Amino acid sequence: MVKQSVHILVTGKVQGVFFRQATKVVAIKNNVTGWVKNLENGQVEILIEGDDKNVKSVIDWCHNGPANSRVDEIKIEQQEFSGQYSNFEVLY
């Protein structure tokens, strides 16, 4: 398996709709590590690391998000794999 690290910015109606908590559930289910947090500009920022197949599953989910969200845009940036995260957490 190829390990990868991906930085994601999600734009739309993505705050106040349990986007971060749902992302954490999906990340843990897909065995990826990293974090998710709200930004002051209304976006959600995510960093995920793991096997390429699992990372892709989380990215695919991010295009739709949880039930009450509306994803208008998603920006994905590949980064160098660091392996520094031992779990996935919501940052405040």
**Active centre residues (catalytic):** 20, 38
**Whole-angstrom Cα distance, residue 18 to residue 77?**
23
Q: How far apart are CA 53 and CA 13, in angstroms?
A: 27
CA separation for the pair 57, 54 (Å, rounded) = 5
Residue 50 near residue 82, CB atoms below 8 Å: no
